[in-house]
Amino acid sequence: MHLKIASCPHVDQGLVAPGQHVLMIDRVMKTRSIDYGLLADAFEDGVAVRRHLLALGFSSNTLAKKCRPGGGWTRLFLGVYLLTGGTPSRRQLVRGALLRAGPLTFLTGVEAARRHGVRRLPADPRVHVLVPHGRRVTSQGAMLVERTNRPWDGVIIDGFPVVTLARALIDAARKESGLDVVRAFIADAVQRRLCSPEAIAEELKDQRLGGTWLPRRVLAEVSDGVRSAAEAWSRSLVHRSSLPPPQWNVLIRSVSGEQLAVVDGWWDEVGLAWQIDSLEFHLAPDDYARTMAQHSALLANGVMTVHTVPSRLKKDPAAVINELRGAYQAAAQRPRPRVSATLWRPV
């Protein structure tokens, strides 16, 4: 569930929710023998902070004992306890990081992008949280703290405060050193209509923001129509050749208006298509079989198509360029096929 909230709202992290949880706390604490199962149920995701437990009458000594082997609790972060014990779930770990960081804390980076629905993300186990610049809290264990005085907006997703997807993508990219990794998750978000290139560009307006070389490069590729890492490699390869730059991700229609295919690269002046044939690198694998059928439709309408697997773009770029040059020259020597071409942009 997504609920729009104002910029940097105060996240209420009080003791317990009103109503039945208060009655549950009363019932737990007034008994001679504490029911720790009921106590865990009284806190969101079974996660509590030290000051709340002290307010309920637990001593510091008791908290320490409960976190020892066999004590039944697990200390997630400094002053944050998992009352169910054992290994925390991802949700419990996220809850603990937010509680440790305090009010006005938002999820950002990979964790936030995942909760927005982005799929092609690096396997980063850390919970990246955004806190106001003056907050005195540091990274520890699985929690990565980023202090900032740059304003942000957010939403509530599944009960957690999360920055906007554009902010999450940029914060994730700033912590990543792999160009293809950044290409993958930004292109995934754009192609699946989760975030627009304009929103990402807005996040990158601050020229003083550090660590943005990779996302700025990827944004230029995405704005040019590139929607996969392999297409980005193709774009770089063409720029190093003497070929004119093609258009990227172009919808081809027959003379009657029938949709034939969306091709990766398109030289409109000669009617030459370029397809990067890869199930692994395309961001919509379910469409791969349909793409293969579209190749036949292009051929039936006179469109010459060059097919390249992504591995050759890096292993044998000179041969790929020669093939493209040859195909371009051959296409230029015959009448342009009677097809129409328009840029295909899902956002």
Other beta carbons less than 10 A from residue 263's beta carbon: 27
- 115 pLDDT band (50/70/90 cuts)? very high
Give the sign of the dihedral formed by CA 54, CA 60, CA 65, CA 67. Answer: positive
Alpha-carbon distances of 203 from 132, 196, 246, 328, rounded to whole Å: 17, 11, 28, 39
Residues 6+ apart with CB under 8 A from 24: 16, 38, 41, 42
DSSP string, 329-347: HHHHTSPPPS-EEEE----
Instruction: Please state, in angstroms and rounded to a whole number, the distance separating the CA atoms of residues 146 and 105.
Output: 10
In this structure, which amino acid lies at residue 241?
S
Question: What value does the mean pLDDT take over residues 233-246?
Answer: 90
Other beta carbons less than 10 A from residue 23's beta carbon: 12
- Percent of the chain whose predicted confidence (pLDDT) is above 70: 85
Q: Which residues pair with 146 in a beta bridge?
A: 130
CB neighbour class for 210 (10 Å; exposed up to 12, middle 13-18, buried from 19)? exposed
pLDDT digits (tens, 9 = 90+) for 118-173: 998 999 899 999 999 888 899 999 999 999 988 899 999 999 999 999 999 999 99
Q: What pLDDT is stored for residue 276 in this prediction? A: 86
pLDDT digits (tens, 9 = 90+) for 204-213: 998 788 889 9
Of the two residues 344 and 303, the one the predictor is more confident about is: 303
Strand runs labelled E in 36-181: 47-49, 74-77, 80-82, 106-107, 127-132, 143-148, 154-157, 160-163
Residue with tokens 């104002």: 6
Of the two residues 214 and 29, the one the predictor is more confident about is: 214
- 10 pLDDT band (50/70/90 cuts)? very low
Q: What pLDDT is stored for residue 18 in this prediction? A: 42
Closest by CA position to 327, among listed 275, 276, 272, 250: 272
Closest by CA position to 100, among listed 52, 154, 163, 158: 52
Q: Tell whether the model's pLDDT for residue 31 goes beyond 70.
A: no
Token pair for 338: 């009677």
Q: What pLDDT is stored for residue 208 in this prediction? A: 80
Q: What pLDDT is stored for residue 9 in this prediction? A: 40
Least confident span in 64-78, 229-243, 317-331 = 229-243
Closest by CA position to 117, among listed 201, 216, 2: 2
Q: What pLDDT is stored for residue 288 in this prediction? A: 58
Q: What pLDDT is stored for residue 24 in this prediction? A: 53
DSSP string, 209-278: -SS-HHHHHHHHHHHTT--SHHHHHHHHHHHTSSSPPPEEEEEEE-TT--EEEEEEEEETTTTEEEEE--
Instruction: Please state, in angstroms and rounded to a whole number, the distance separating the CA atoms of residues 264 and 246.
Output: 9
Instruction: Please state, in angstroms and rounded to a whole number, the distance separating the CA atoms of residues 310 and 317.
Output: 10
Computed over every residue of the chain, the mean pLDDT equals 86
Of the two residues 145 and 25, the one the predictor is more confident about is: 145
Q: What pLDDT is stored for residue 2 in this prediction? A: 46
CB neighbour class for 96 (10 Å; exposed up to 12, middle 13-18, buried from 19)? buried
pLDDT digits (tens, 9 = 90+) for 37-93: 888 998 999 999 999 999 988 999 999 999 999 999 999 999 999 999 999 999 999
Q: Tell whether the model's pLDDT for residue 101 goes beyond 50.
A: yes
pLDDT digits (tens, 9 = 90+) for 277-301: 765 444 444 555 676 677 788 989 9
Q: What pLDDT is stored for residue 281 in this prediction? A: 45
Q: Which residues pair with 148 in a beta bridge?
A: 132
Question: What value does the mean pLDDT take over residues 312-340?
Answer: 94
Q: Tell whether the model's pLDDT for residue 265 goes beyond 90.
A: yes
